[in-house]
Chain A
Amino acid sequence: MFEDIIKAFYIAKKDIKEYYLKPPTISWGIVFPVVFTLAFLLKGGPKSSHLIPGLIALALFFGTTSMAAASIVFERKIGSFERILLFPISYLGIALGKVLSSFIFGMVSLATLIIVVIPFILNVHIFSPLLVTVLVLSALMFSAFGVFIAFLIRDPTNTMLILNSFRLPMIFLCGIFIPVSSLPKFLQVVALLLPLTYSVEAIRFAIEGTFDIIPPIVSILLMIIIIISLLVLSSLEIKNMIP
């Protein structure tokens, strides 16, 4: 198992070298969240600082999932994913490798965003061990989510379209702009099924000390459970790829 974790890091290193400059990764993973965030912060001025937790979650979400999609769907299309299956490594190890490369790319999106939004958040007492924990968990969860979805995508030409049909509605359902508590009951239920909700709640608590409807300890525990479940599900998907 220890060997597999090291190999997962090698997969991540290779993915970063191979995909970080690909246009869909850059445009959807970095440019989009940064521009989106800037648009909102410039429009709202200093009053908009309450949007920051949601926008940070958004950057992580788009960064990680774009990388997952690029590295998995593209590799499957050109047949190089099969190389990974020839190496002596477990399916879980492969899934972990893909999650790690997405995670690292998500951290790059986040760093870019923080540099861009620093003028807006200077007055906020922001970094704490809790925030770092919550950010890492969020990035891991989104990566695992992205990897899971990416393995389900069969037709590579529509990758970003399919991904965005998941991602864009989540912006509005998961409490980034509109608190989940003010959504109609039915949409609240939907929001509770989406991983982004827990991340936004936890990040908000870490930055502002308040939450909307989910206590931070619940968010954190659920995120851990979601990460593990998605990793296991992804490794099963990989196993099922073998005809």
Chain B
Amino acid sequence: MIPLKHVIIAEKLVKYYGNFMAVKGISFRVKEGEIYGFLGPNGAGKTTTVRMLCGLAKINGGRAFIYGYDVTREIKKVKKIIGVVPDISNLYMELSCFDNLMFCAEMYGVPRSERKEKVLELLEFFGLENKKNVKFKALSKGLRRRLTIAAALVHNPKLLFLDEPTIGLDVKSKRQIWKLIRELNKRGITIFLTTHNIYEAFKLCDRIAIINEGVIVAEGTPTELRTMVSGSKIIELQVHPPIREPQVFSRIPGIVKVSTRQGAIRIMVNDVITALEGIIKLLKESNREIVMLNLMGADAEEVFMKLIDRTKESKKYSAG
């Protein structure tokens, strides 16, 4: 018997699409009650991993257990206890918010007497009670995302998969979703989320696995990972309304130097994550929105690359 404190146990998972190996034998464990993040660039294998764990893709090698159930052999039992939010908001366009959630409740076998109450409760929790009779196609992107998350919760799953929960959303909608995710986690739901947004991962997750080209290259708490990604970088930033005195940023920990160029603020940092946290906090306090944020050289992927290179180097050393 596998101990239940691990909600997900993945052992050497492999996925081939034809001859292409998309996931190359990854192993990880997700603990009950945590928010576990899969962070990686496009094409890293995040979605593929989620799909293998929820029965949308066959597992070609290795094994996976969810709440002790073998994902390959007991997929129907697994499906009953997990909620899955796919990377696109794919509810039914012509159905109202209420009807969409009711359909999901019916399909998950929620008892007839409890369905309506559960659906109304979710609409309220997600701030959609006044959109109850609005068709899905008439919702904004942010509201669609929220309803899609609600749809994965109709059967009170203990484990929720969120594939790119905030992709394509504006800052305000992103924040709302983050708040909801934290709230769900507080209510005892274990969360497995994928993202290519390093900020999102570090802000939300208790533990993060960084995945690249089908391989987990680093795993740890945000603090543990933070120490691995030190060194100086430049953040380019534009905010609205504009800041007249950019030097206010220089007080933030992790920031080395601040200058302006062509209307953008250039901030040299030695700890990206700490600096970003401070910057966002400061902007929030002064009610400013980020218009543009660029991690110079590249974007977040460069941070991944740094970690990836480190692992390659350490392999080289240990091999030599």
Are A86 and B56 within 8 A (Cβ)?
Answer: yes
Closest chain A residue to B161, Cβ basis = A86
CA distance A233 to B106 in the complex (A): 26
Q: Which of A41-49, A75-83, A167-175, A219-227 contacts B (4 or more CB under 8 A)?
A: A75-83
Give chain B nearest CB distance to A240 CB in angstroms: 11
Given contacts A10-B103, A14-B103, A243-B17, contact A88 B108 (CB under 8 A): yes
Query: Is A122 in contact with chain B by the CB < 8 A criterion?
Result: no
Query: Is A39 in contact with chain B by the CB < 8 A criterion?
Result: no
Most chain B Cβ neighbours within 10 Å, of A3, A17, A21: A17
Query: Is A89 in contact with chain B by the CB < 8 A criterion?
Result: yes
- Which residues 8-63 of A sit at the B interface, judged by CB distance below 8 A? 10-11, 13-14, 17-19, 21
Closest chain A residue to B84, Cβ basis = A86
Contacts of A17 in B (CB 8 A): 92, 94-95, 99
Query: Is B303 in contact with chain A by the CB < 8 A criterion?
Result: no
Contacts of A243 in B (CB 8 A): 17, 57-58
Per a CB cutoff under 8 Å, which of A14, A80, A242 touches B58?
Answer: A242
Contacts of B76 in A (CB 8 A): 88, 90
CA distance A149 to B236 in the complex (A): 53
Per a CB cutoff under 8 Å, which of A3, A18, A21, A86 touches B54?
Answer: A86
Interface size class of A (residues with CB under 8 A): 20 to 34
CA distance A7 to B108 in the complex (A): 9
Give chain A nearest CB distance to B284 CB in angstroms: 34
Query: Is B91 in contact with chain A by the CB < 8 A criterion?
Result: yes
Query: Is B109 in contact with chain A by the CB < 8 A criterion?
Result: yes
Per a CB cutoff under 8 Å, which of B17, B57, B103, B107 touches A89?
Answer: B107
Are B107 and A87 within 8 A (Cβ)?
Answer: yes
Are B79 and A88 within 8 A (Cβ)?
Answer: yes
CA distance A39 to B91 in the complex (A): 41
Contacts of B106 in A (CB 8 A): 7, 10
- Which residues 38-62 of B sit at the A interface, judged by CB distance below 8 A? 54-58
Give chain A nearest CB distance to B160 CB in angstroms: 12
Are A82 and B108 within 8 A (Cβ)?
Answer: no
Are B79 and A78 within 8 A (Cβ)?
Answer: no
CA distance A29 to B310 in the complex (A): 61
Are A83 and B91 within 8 A (Cβ)?
Answer: yes
Query: Is B4 in contact with chain A by the CB < 8 A criterion?
Result: no
Query: Is B88 in contact with chain A by the CB < 8 A criterion?
Result: yes
Contacts of A3 in B (CB 8 A): 109
Query: Is B259 in contact with chain A by the CB < 8 A criterion?
Result: no
Contacts of A18 in B (CB 8 A): 92-95
CA distance A80 to B90 in the complex (A): 5
- A residues in contact (CB < 8 Å) with B: 3, 7, 10-11, 13-14, 17-19, 21, 78-80, 82-90, 242-243
- B residues in contact (CB < 8 Å) with A: 17, 54-58, 76-77, 79-80, 84, 86, 88, 90-95, 99, 103-104, 106-109, 151
A-B contact pairs, 14 of them (CB 8 A): A14-B99, A19-B94, A21-B94, A78-B90, A78-B93, A83-B86, A84-B107, A86-B55, A87-B79, A88-B76, A88-B79, A88-B80, A88-B109, A242-B55
